[in-house]
Amino acid sequence: MFFAALLRLLSRLAVLSLWVIVVATAAGFAGLLWWGLDLFSHFRVQYLLAAAVLALLLWALGRRRSALMAVAVVVANLAALVPLYMPRMQTAEATAAAPQARALRVMSLNVRIRNQNVRRIFDYIRRENPDVVVLLEVGEQWSRPLERLAARYPFRWVHTGDAFSGIAVLSRFAPVESRAIDLGGVGVPSMLVTLDYGRDVAGEARPDGAGRVSILGVHLRAPFSAGSAHQRDRQLTALARVAREHPWPLAIVGDLNITPLSPLFARTVRNGRLQRCGDSGGLHPTWPVGFPLLYIQIDHCLATASVQSEDFRVGPDVGSDHYPVTVRLRPAAE
């Protein structure tokens, strides 16, 4: 009798869990309606795995209809995930990289505002040796340590601030243009640097600016509340506009506080005429370090069609709550 009661309890808990996943799955598809619903869109891998386990359990417990419902949930989440794993064909324009342009290696890392382990992060930067580094959540304690990288990165733009406004951009090459941008007017600076890949044989910049590529380092607001979600959405709208209107090939790197599974992310990519960087699709979890059950990708590289991107990679644990990301970029040929 005890065993039978235990099976009934397990069956009820399994059905209840299934309904929670059903609601979360459906809510994620309605993210454009309300910021709270969009939060459910980010965990489709977790929903899929949980629904698959529940389908097997419910079938074994004799709950055939509930098991079939769990299978339907697996299919629904799989339908949202599969397009992200389809290899992306870069445009012909982006595939033909400028002959004189070597690959520009870019790294982005949210260092975490309270992180005191500066040496571990600097060791990783030196080991990877990127051409451009974007650091986010840069607090006052980072000002002097960043001077240690002066020989390696002569151009350094550092804005110390809080968990959203602190940002530093380091470049091996002097930019031909650099400016801070307040996306959406929310008081959070982003940094735009433009590097020149279009110099002629004599080393002079070409007057038409051909061969330039721009890097925009960003850290968008986290949607912790209706107010911060609204600010983040304004930043996404501004990001798409900057991408459409920017005159040079552009890559956007940083912590966007949104995943590729969000309808808002898809709208930003579409409106900005952007594409995810790299030569293959998929999800690349970047947060939170050390908690695989919650893994999602919120650190990204997005590029305009005139940028060839390859080798998008997520790095190891370097002491932050985010994993670093790196990518190789080239401007397209004329």
- Note the pTM of the prediction, 2 decimals: 0.91
SS3 string, 267-287, reads: HHHHHCCEEECCCCCCCCCCE
Q: Cα–Cα distance between 79 and 174 in angstroms, integer?
A: 45
Amino acid at residue number 166: G
Structure tokens at 274: 């952007």
Structure tokens at 191: 């940094």
Tell me what pLDDT residue 8 has: 86
Cβ within 8 Å of residue 191, ≥6 positions away: 134, 157, 159, 167, 169, 178, 179, 180, 181, 216, 217
Q: Break the chain into its structural domains and give their ranges.
A: 2-85, 92-331
> Comparing C-alpha atoms, which of 307, 285, 212 is closest to residue 46?
285
Task: Give the count of beta carbons closer than 10 Å to the beta carbon of residue 202.
Answer: 5
Q: Cα–Cα distance between 21 and 45 in angstroms, integer?
A: 12
Q: Cα–Cα distance between 197 and 98 in angstroms, integer?
A: 8
Widest pairwise Cα distance in the chain: 90
Given 3-state DSSP classes, what are the helix, strand and coil percentages for the chain, each rounded to the nearest 5? 40, 25, 35
Q: Cα–Cα distance between 330 and 153 in angstroms, integer?
A: 20
Main-chain phi, psi angles of 280, to 5 degrees: -145, 160
Q: Cα–Cα distance between 215 and 251 in angstroms, integer?
A: 5
Give the pLDDT confidence of 282-311 residue by residue, as tens digits.
899 999 999 999 999 999 999 999 999 999
Give the pLDDT confidence of 29-56 residue by residue, as tens digits.
999 999 999 999 999 999 999 999 999 9
Task: Give the count of beta carbons closer than 10 Å to the beta carbon of residue 312.
Answer: 20
The fourth-level CATH superfamily of domain 92-331 is: Endonuclease/exonuclease/phosphatase (3.60.10.10)
Q: Cα–Cα distance between 261 and 27 in angstroms, integer?
A: 12
Give the pLDDT confidence of 166-222 residue by residue, as tens digits.
999 999 999 999 999 999 999 999 999 999 865 533 344 544 455 789 999 999 999
CB-count burial class (<10 Å; 0-12, 13-18, 19+) for 161? middle
Give the pLDDT confidence of 85-132 residue by residue, as tens digits.
886 655 544 455 445 557 899 999 999 998 888 999 999 999 999 999
